[in-house]
Amino acid sequence: MACVQPSDNSVMTMTTAATQSKYTFLSLGDSYTIGESVSDNERWSVQLAGLLRKNGVDIADPDIIARTGWTTAELQDAIKASGNQKTYGLVSLLIGVNNQYRGQSQNRYQTEFRELLQTAIKFAGGKAGHVVVLSIPDWGQSPFARGRNQKQIADEIDAFNAIAQQECKAAGISYVDITPLTHKAAGDTNQFAVDGLHYSGKQMRQWAEATLPIVKDILKQ
């Protein structure tokens, strides 16, 4: 399953152009961050950077550390392995769907997610206010999930998202709830990529638009 099994489709981009912009950007996550089955410029974080530039914010396209199938622990391991020591003006995190899919415990997710928040804060130069977290999309609404227990999937994702929101609040980190947008995507094939599981650039555009006003405020700090 493309959403949940680690693959070789990893992205660890370190752009040289980033240092030429006023703000640099690091995007951390899994398949939703690399934009599985869509073009590079349709990734939600790349679209966000474009929207910010249209709004007069001088920000580079994001460096990305993400891979289809990663859990919180696998993302943390990959960050360590990357050797990235850079500091960024903005750091985003979207992670957890694979913890849910693999049946990992909520307690484990909470512990590992909390550690990732601290990692993200470190990348942001110790500024929790320059980190933004996006909620886990509800993949149960995808064509791929037909015939599965959609209510159970939604309930489990809601529980993981509640943990993430709680941890963000405790750490002073902005949290963007994009899950309702993925609920509305149900039945609309234009909102999904060709694999029927991941999201299209059209859906991820909505994530970028939802995140835009929060990030604009963040970068004023």
For the chain, the residue count is 221
Q: Determine the Cα–Cα distance for residues 165 and 171; give it in Å rounded to an integer.
A: 10
Determine the residue type at 32.
Y
Number of domains in the chain: 1
pTM above 0.85, yes or no: yes
pLDDT on residue 12: 60
Q: Which residue has the tokens 């110790």?
A: 126
- Percent share of the chain, pLDDT over 90: 70
CA angle 58, 59, 61 (to 5 degrees): 145
193 vs 183: which has the higher pLDDT: 183
Tens digit of each residue's pLDDT (9 = 90 or more) over 94-146: 999 999 999 999 999 999 999 999 999 999 999 999 999 999 999 888 767 67
Task: Give whole-number Cα distances, 192 to 4, 143, 204, in Å.
Answer: 16, 8, 10
Task: Find the domain containing 85 and state its range.
Answer: 10-218
Lowest mean pLDDT among 20-29, 67-76, 138-147: 138-147
pLDDT on residue 1: 37
In a domain, 2, yes or no: no
23 vs 186: which has the higher pLDDT: 23
pLDDT on residue 7: 41
Q: Please, what is the average pLDDT of the chain?
A: 89
Tens digit of each residue's pLDDT (9 = 90 or more) over 155-175: 999 999 999 999 999 999 999
53 vs 144: which has the higher pLDDT: 53
- Given a cut of 80, whether residue 17 has pLDDT beyond it is no
Q: Determine the Cα–Cα distance for residues 107 and 94; give it in Å rounded to an integer.
A: 18
pLDDT on residue 6: 39
The CATH number of the domain where 176 resides is what?
3.40.50.1110
- Given a cut of 90, whether residue 184 has pLDDT beyond it is no
pLDDT on residue 145: 64
